[in-house]
Amino acid sequence: MGKSARMFRAIALPLAAASMFYTQTGYADPIPQGWQASNMEAVGYSDLEGRPGAFKLTIKHVNDKWYLFMGHLWNYGFSIVDVTDPKNPRYVKFVPMPTNNWTIQLTHHDNLLIAAMERQIFSWGGDPSKPFSEGVILFDISDPENPKELSRWKTGATGTHRNSYPGGQYAFLSAAMPGHTGNILRILDVSDPKNPKEVGQWHQPGQKEGEPVPDAPRGFHGPLNLSPDGKSAVMAYSPSIVNLDLSDIAHPKVIGQLQMSPPFLSAGSQSLHTSLPLWDRGLIYANSEASAERCNETLNFAGLIDNRNPAMPRLLSMFPLPQPPKGAPYKNFCEKGGRFGPHNTNQEIHLPDVEKPGNLIYLTYFNAGLRVFNIKDPIQPVESGWFMPPQPLKRAGPQPPNDLVSQVEDVLVDTRGYIYIDDKHWGLWIIRYTGEDQPAPTAK
């Protein structure tokens, strides 16, 4: 295959031919036609039995099986998909959760899975007149196809958003707390998963009632990224990237931080959404979140931070802005409609089954799909691949009136090199990167 053919693919097969192709290859669900890519290719697809809005992925490899766990935006519960054969993903089951809440995030290590519960925003389907569940539910997933509830823990407020459980004694929650604005860091001891107990917390000055009003919104989106030695952590905690000392788990202390707002401020909410430390290189990847449609907000950013001196992190470089494919009916992604900007990256790197950061950063970009950036030269990151699902056929879920365009939300990459992305209107896509510098697979 020539270089130009490898650099760009657009699949638009006639329906009859496509149906024949799907039947021959035995896909569980036909791969929707019309996807576009550069240095990427579609491998498999699942419509999740009609449950769009899948979200926040985690994966577990058990013997010869691979199981993907996915939260949801509009279905009250989470999905389990057997992705042992990425060309033929098998939908295992839907696990119900309490109604009138979001279960958009799952995190796990070994056999303990922690599912977030958060009051669902009214404009996204929540009913403010009805009770809601909040906090976390802990599950035993030693049998991945049949999770068993172990316990529940509540915040006493609106719940948790994006949490982290890197294994061991502690889980780190992005959690609401009475008397505080915005989520804060709350730490649970889960050594006895049937009786989780809070053992520590930390918040930015200005979040607690009675503290001086801050100059920019404060809040912890999560997740926390624990250092390999377990003594410190990196957080995207608006308005700053924060290095936190966890040597006294009950009383975390700031080592250093880099304030990013102003100038970056996402639609009146948060200036920091995601952080991903590259511990062996002294770098932190970070981004804000696109919130408003058609770019009706402050410019969002994705970039690298020099963290070799954790007491004084400094901004090192910014990622280039994704450009539309040649021949697109819009001159920029703001014109395409919907949200355009960075969102999530390959986050669950504490798992043995998730690809570790090398020279590639996988970043979902809402209407621009999945973007892959090469940071071999951290001073000058370059885009080295992208994948965009086709135009959705119908709107998914109760939500505010908005543009009907593809919106890629989350990404996870396993140690076989398979990439999983979820689109708000479609379902689960399984793809592969075919460009340079992908880490060699460490699992078959």
pLDDT at position 116 over 70:
yes
- Report the alpha-carbon angle 195-201-205, nearest 5: 160
CA 436 to chain centre: 23
pLDDT tens digits for range 414-438: 999 999 999 999 999 999 999 999 8
Closest by CA to 61, choosing from 152, 146, 158, 141, is 141
Find tokens 């926040």 and name the residue. Answer: 56
Residue 258 maps to a domain? yes
Structure tokens at 404: 């009907």
User: Which residues are CB-neighbours of 162 under 8 A, at least 6 positions away?
Assistant: 56, 105, 116, 174, 221, 222, 223
- Please give the Cα distance from 416 to 443 (Å, whole number): 5
- Please give the Cα distance from 335 to 293 (Å, whole number): 10
Coil, helix or strand for 71? strand
Residue 441 maps to a domain? no
Closest by CA to 394, choosing from 421, 427, 420, is 427
Q: Which of 3-12, 326-335, 405-414 is least confident?
A: 3-12
Residue 442 maps to a domain? no
Position 270 scores a pLDDT of: 60
pLDDT tens digits for range 8-66: 443 333 333 333 233 333 446 999 999 999 999 999 999 999 998 888 899 999 999 99
Banded pLDDT at 103 (limits 50, 70, 90): confident
Torsion of CA 209, 233, 411, 49, to 10 degrees: -60
Mean pLDDT across 98-127: 90
Position 7 scores a pLDDT of: 41
Residue 80 maps to a domain? yes
Residue 438 maps to a domain? no
Q: Which of 178-192, 264-278, 297-311, 321-335 is least confident?
A: 264-278
- 251-256 long-range contacts (CB < 8 A, ≥24 apart) are 251/200, 252/185, 252/187, 252/200, 252/201, 252/202, 255/310, 255/311, 256/309, 256/310, 256/311, 256/312, 256/313
Question: How many other β-carbons are positioned within 10 Å of the β-carbon of residue 400?
Answer: 8
Position 216 scores a pLDDT of: 78
Position 203 scores a pLDDT of: 97
Q: 406 versus 397: which is more confidently predicted? A: 406
Average pLDDT, whole number, for the chain?
A: 90
- Please give the Cα distance from 59 to 290 (Å, whole number): 26
Dihedral of CA 19/25/28/32: which sign?
negative
Decide: 115 and 78 in contact? Cβ < 8 Å. Answer: yes
Position 268 scores a pLDDT of: 45
Residue 229 maps to a domain? yes
Across 1-5, 73-77, 285-289, the highest mean pLDDT is recorded for: 285-289
Closest by CA to 407, choosing from 79, 52, 77, is 52
Banded pLDDT at 265 (limits 50, 70, 90): low
pLDDT at position 223 over 90:
yes
Position 267 scores a pLDDT of: 45
Question: Amino acid identity of 21?
Answer: F
pLDDT at position 330 over 90:
yes
Number of domains making up the chain: 1
- Please give the Cα distance from 55 to 45 (Å, whole number): 15
Residue 440 maps to a domain? no
Position 68 scores a pLDDT of: 98
Position 128 scores a pLDDT of: 84
B/e letters for 369-389, b = 16+ CB within 10 Å, e = fewer, are bbbbbbbeebeebebbbbbbb
pLDDT at position 346 over 90:
yes
Bond before 262 cis per omega within 30 degrees: yes
Residue 377 maps to a domain? yes
Position 266 scores a pLDDT of: 53
Position 94 scores a pLDDT of: 96
Closest by CA to 323, choosing from 2, 9, 38, is 38
- Please give the Cα distance from 140 to 156 (Å, whole number): 24
Position 225 scores a pLDDT of: 97
Report the share of the chain in percent with pLDDT over 90: 77
Q: 123 versus 332: which is more confidently predicted? A: 332
pLDDT tens digits for range 196-215: 999 999 999 999 999 998 87
- Please give the Cα distance from 67 to 65 (Å, whole number): 7
165: domain CATH number?
2.130.10.10
- Please give the Cα distance from 152 to 138 (Å, whole number): 6
Give me the half-sphere count of Cα atoms (radius 13 Å) on the Cβ side of residue 405: 19
For 325, the domain range is 3-433
Strands (E), 11-126: 36-38, 40-46, 54-62, 65-72, 77-82, 90-96, 101-102, 106-109, 112-119
Closest by CA to 334, choosing from 290, 271, 364, is 290
pLDDT at position 164 over 50:
yes
Structure tokens at 426: 């479609």
Position 306 scores a pLDDT of: 98
pTM to 2 decimal places = 0.92
Position 291 scores a pLDDT of: 86
Mean pLDDT across 89-118: 94
Q: Which residues on neighbouring strands pair with residue 287, listed in sequence order?
A: 274, 302
pLDDT at position 319 over 70:
yes
How would you classify residue 206: left for phi > 0, otherwise alpha for psi between -120 and 50, otherwise beta? left
